[in-house]
Amino acid sequence: MSQPQAVPAGAARAAASIEHPLDVALPYDIRPRAAKAVRDIQLQQFVANATTVKDRGRRDAFRAAFGARADQVRELAGRIKQHTLDHLDWYLDRFISAAQAAGVTVHLARDAAEANRICLRLAKDYGSKLCVKSKSMVTEEIGLVPELQAAGVETIETDLGEFIIQLDHDAPSHIVTPMIHKDRAAVGRAFQRELGVPYTEDPLTLAGIARDYLRQKYREADLGISGANFLVAKTGSIVLCTNEGNGRFCTSAPPVQIAVAGIEKLIPRMEHLGVMLKVLARSATAQPLTCYTHIITGPARERERGGPQAVHLVLLDNGRSEILREETRELLRCIRCGACLNACPVYRKIGGHSYGSVYSGPIGAVITPLLKGVANYPDLPHASSLCGACYQACPVKIDLPSQLIGLRQRMVRTRVTGWRERLAFRAWAWSLRQTWSYRWMAKVQRWALRRMARHDGLSGGDSTPMTSSGWIQKGPGPIAGWTSQRDFPAPAATSFREWWEGRGPSS
Amino acid sequence: MKVSLFITCLGDSFYPRAGIAAVRVLERLGYKVDFPAEQTCCGQPMYNNGFRDEARPLARRMIEVFGPSEAVVTNSGSCAAMIRDYYPGLFEGEPAAQERARQLAAKTFEFAEFLVKVARVDLRAVAARRAERVTYHYSCHLRGIGVTDEAEQVLRQIGGLEYVPLAMPEQCCGFGGTFATKYPDISGAMVRDKVGQIRATGASTCVSSDPGCTMNISGACHRAAASVQFRSLAEIVAESMGLMDDVPAAGGPS
Ligand code: SF4
């Protein structure tokens, strides 16, 4: 196996020249990226294949394990999280005491800046030079890695997917499968460029190179950073689920560990962990359990060989206590399994980067505007057909379509929705409140649309009064978007109600 | 039993034949059908776009109009879902109105659902027949109201009909109301997938449970010159029972 010859010294140089996919101008306009993504054949194939396979796998895994009771299991998992959130202050207190008793130093961070400050200060206090990091969405959310790098702490992502993303100066496009959008060739090129190894596309060889490279880093690292999948209130434990064992290395090889976790990661007791682990692994990767489930309760004890001497936990709010309000609280049940992304027909078409933020897919479309302001991400709540596939997939039963609608309501209330649209909807709604105006509007519409339509003899070409007939190929104003993609059917000559009125007394 | 037809905005203007078919099938099954003339829109477009306060008076109106009905049947899965999933929630803090919303929700049915769950129809008993290869588009809003394979059950009861399911029946067609006009690139990519899947079945007719989906998919088929006809379930059932001979459908390939 070829040995990597150089550390990724090119990282800083290249990072400066390549635009980061998640650096977006606000307010974020989803359209240009979405339009590009739907024309990107490779992205279409990769994302569609991977998500379809995962979505099917999840359903099969649930069915195999729980049969007809799959729904009840989701209900239970959702209730466990909801209960914890309903009493979050109590469970936080309990967790903090238990974690401190176990020897963990707990830090509270109000926002991203504070969390990063805490981590940087710790790194400085311990004199850290090299940090190995396991996969964590929350550290992506606060942008921790660039800050550490800037402060002179070389920080290496050790999850294979994240490692590749980091090497290639890319950004994760899926919360579980970060490099879902990348192909082997891109990986081979990144390895060649950044690690100085001969070009190869062979997955095993590439994984071997990464493995050797990372092993060396684990030995040298003086700091380990992780996220947390769950925090167990009763015992003060941090639970990490991984498939590569890298999380275990990161949290046991270096002398100091920092875990960063959102306050919503709490569950009451160990017995609840069983349920949560079962639904998480099945939802995320269709596995019965992830290969490694690491439960960390404090630093290494006396007579224990290995394990960190110091464990720090940064509990992050960063907008979560705002989401905790009643209408949106259920969103904090999220266990970041990615099932809603895999099920989402929109995500399948536009990929993760189109969401313009760390969290993508249906859950991202809801929490990004909540965390960063709806006015900054006005498209996200609307770029959904509300098909409900996400709701059906979610292992903790978050009603994502209703949450999207809730955000749309918020946009109307706070006038993020423009006045033209507000006026149009109000006028339309008013016209529907009287039968006469409804009929009159419908008649005008039918007349206007039928005038625009062409009859071309293909399906629907002939005129029959009771069916849609003819098509509009290039529509004006409100239907221009529609006809840019597909034809618009002309209405029927006679409406149903005209038919009903003309049919005489019913038999 | 008396059944009231809720025609919906799109059904009224674009697909009256589907409404006629529903009336005839229900009458043939022995129901007395009426059409409360005061009905307009259920408020779904307003509600889905965040105009909750604009949707509420329309819901109130619907509750009023269909108050006396024993059962309400509609050809639109999404309008049925609007009433069933969201009406009660619109009247939070108004117990009396909320109770009436719940009553309407409890007696509102999508057409296929009504045939299977209430009428317990068996088309074999009436020797329904239609020799044709048919596929079926499952409208996403049926998920919320717990409707799954009812339409397929009905289709399988029609003699001579060859039913070919879509490869990914649960995948959205990309309609989503204003979504289709606001995000045409995304919506267009979604519906083209659907067209491809319909084509792959080799079916000459696609049955759809929602006028919105029908507009979208049929429009995309037409753009792609795929000669597929679209029917509501009510139409195909009525045709199989010989009830539609006097109301021609828009012709297929001429
Ligand atoms: S919203 Fe549900 S499905 Fe989506 S990532 Fe969170 S837990 Fe998983």
Question: Which pair of tokens denotes residue A256?
Answer: 């100091």
CATH label of the domain that carries residue B170: 3.40.50
- Please say whether the beta carbons of A196 and A6 come within 8 A: yes
Q: Atom 6, ligand 1: which residue's CA is nearest?
A: A334
Q: How confident is the model at residue A302 (pLDDT cuts 50, 70, 90)?
A: confident
Residue A506 has pLDDT above 80, yes or no: no
Nearest one of B210, B222, B217 to B173, comparing CA atoms: B217
Q: Are residues B104 and B206 in the same domain?
A: no
For residue A454, give the DSSP letter: B
> What's CA B169's distance to the chain center, in Å?
16
Q: B16 touching A, CB under 8 A?
A: yes
Q: Which of B84, B116, B148 is the last residue of a domain?
A: B116
Minimum-distance ligand 1 atom for the alpha carbon of A175: 5
Cβ–ligand 1 contact at A336 (below 6 Å): yes
How many domains is chain B built from?
2
Chain B, 215-234: which have a CB under 8 Å from a chain A CB? 215-216, 218-223, 225, 227-230
Q: Does any domain span residue B51?
A: yes
* Cα-only R_g, chain B: 18
B118 touches chain A (CB under 8 A): no
Best mutation target among B14, B85, B206 (most A Cβ atoms within 10 Å) is B14
* Residues B144 and B182 both lie in one domain: yes
Give dist(CA B8, CA B214) in Å, integer. Answer: 14
Instruction: Judge if B12 and B110 occupy the same domain.
Output: yes
Asked whether residue B6 falls in the same domain as residue B96, the answer is: yes
Residue A208's H or E segment, with its range, is: helix A203-220
Q: Indicate if B94 and B202 belong to the same structural domain.
A: no
Q: How many contacts (CB atoms, under 8 Å) link A and B?
A: 249
In angstroms, what is the span from residue A336 Cα to ligand 1's centroid?
Answer: 5
What is the rounded distance in angstroms from the CA atom of residue A210 to the CA atom of residue A166?
12
SS (H, E, C) chain B: CEEEEECCHHHHHCCHHHHHHHHHHHHHCCCEEECCCCCCCCCHHHHHCCCHHHHHHHHHHHHHHCCCCCEEEECCHHHHHHHHHHHHHHCCCCHHHHHHHHHHHHHEEEHHHHHHHHCCCCHHHHCCEEEEEEEEECCCHHHHCCCCCHHHHHHHCCEEEEECCCCCCCCCCCCCCCHHHHCHHHHHHHHHHHHHHHHHHCCCEEEECCHHHHHHHHHHHHHCCCCCEEEEHHHHHHHHCCCCCCCCCCCCCC
Provide the residue range defining the domain that includes B174.
123-240
Q: Is residue B249 part of a domain?
A: no
Closest by Cβ to B181, choosing from A350, A391, A481 = A481
Ligand 1 contacts CB of residue A338 (under 6 A): yes
Handedness of CA B51, B57, B60, B62 (dihedral sign): negative
User: Does the distance separating the beta carbons of B189 and A38 come in below 8 Å?
Assistant: yes
Question: Are B8 and B74 contacting, i.e. CB atoms less than 8 angstroms apart?
Answer: yes
Nearest to A336 by CA among A211, A236, A237, A239: A239
Q: Do B76 and B181 sit in the same domain of this protein?
A: no
Distance from residue A335's CA to the centre of ligand 1 (Å): 6
Q: Are B104 and B127 in a shared domain?
A: no
A258 phi/psi in degrees, rounded to 5 = -120, 125
Asked if B8 and B139 count as a contact pair (C-beta separation under 8 A), the reply is no
Q: Do both B202 and B175 map to the same domain?
A: yes
- Report the sign of the C-alpha dihedral through residues A324, A327, A333, A337, in that order: negative
- The pLDDT tens digits for B142-201 are 988 999 999 999 999 999 999 999 999 999 999 999 999 999 999 999 999 999 999 999
Residue A261's contacts (CB-CB under 8 Å, 6 or more residues apart) are A138, A227, A228, A231, A238, A313, A314, A315, A316
Domain boundary, last residue among B116, B149, B182: B116
Strand order from edge to edge, sheet including B2-6: B32-34, B2-6, B71-74, B108-110
The per-residue pLDDT for range B6-57, each reduced to its tens digit, is 999 999 999 999 999 999 999 999 999 999 999 999 999 999 999 999 999 9
pLDDT band (50, 70, 90) for residue A23: confident
CA dist A53 and A286 (Å) reads 10
B15 in a structural domain? yes
Residue B203 domain flag: yes
Site of tokens 């950004």 = A171
Neighbouring-strand partners of residue B129 = B159
Q: pLDDT at residue A208 above 60?
A: yes
Asked whether the beta carbons of residue B12 and residue A428 sit closer than 8 angstroms, the reply is no
Degrees to nearest 5, angle at CA A494 with A488 and A498? 135
Residue B162 lies in a domain: yes
**pLDDT tens digits, residue range A225-238?**
999 999 999 999 99
pLDDT at A17: 42
Residue written as token pair 């109105």: B97
Q: Are residues B84 and B134 in the same domain?
A: no
Distance CA A427, CA A434 (A): 12
Please report whether residue B183 resides in a domain: yes
Give the whole-angstrom CA distance, residue A138 versus residue B209: 42
Of A409, A461, A496, the CB nearest to B16: A496
Interface pTM, i.e. ipTM? 0.95
Whether B208 contacts chain A with CB within 8 A: no
> Do B17 and B109 fall within a single domain?
yes
* Burial degree of B242 (CB within 10 A; 0-12, 13-18, 19+): middle
- On whether any CB of chain B is under 8 Å from the CB of A469, the answer is yes
Cα–Cα distance measured from residue B43 to residue B245, given in angstroms and rounded to the nearest whole number? 34
Note the pLDDT of residue A458. Answer: 45
Q: Is the pLDDT of residue B83 over 60?
A: yes
Tell the residue nearest (CA) to atom 2 of ligand 1. A394
Q: Could you give the CA distance from residue B136 to residue B205 in angstroms, rounded to a whole number?
A: 8
Q: Which tens digit of pLDDT belongs to each residue from A380-392?
A: 999 999 999 999 9
Residue B200 lies in a domain: yes
Helix (H) / strand (E) containing A137: helix A137-142
Token representation of residue A455: 């009859």
What gap in Å lies between CA A138 and CA A236, rounded to an integer?
Answer: 19
CA atoms within 13 A on the CB side of A225: 30
Query: In angstroms, what CA-CA distances link A228 with A154, B50, B106, B226, B244?
Result: 22, 35, 44, 51, 62
**pLDDT digits 0-9 by tens, A415-443:** 999 999 999 999 999 999 999 999 999 99
Give B82's pLDDT tier (boundaries 50, 70, 90). Answer: very high
pLDDT of residue A464: 61
From B86, B116, B146, give the residue that closes a domain: B116
Instruction: Report the alpha-carbon distance of residue A261 to residue A240 in Å, rounded.
Output: 11
Confidence of residue A22 (pLDDT cuts 50, 70, 90): confident
Q: Which atom from ligand 1 is nearest to the alpha carbon of A390? A: 3
> Residue A356 is encoded by which pair of tokens?
């313009």
Q: Chain B within 8 Å of A388 (Cβ-Cβ)?
A: yes
Domains and CATH numbers, chain A: 9-321 (3.40.50.10420), 435-501 (no CATH)
Residues B108 and B129 grouped into a single domain: no
Q: Which two tokens stand for residue A71?
A: 């729904």
Q: Note whether B132 and B106 are same-domain residues.
A: no
CA A65 from chain centre, in angstroms, equals 25
- CB burial string B150-183: b at 16+ within 10 A, e below: bbbebbebbeebbbeebeeebbbbbbbbbbbbbb
B153 located within any domain:
yes
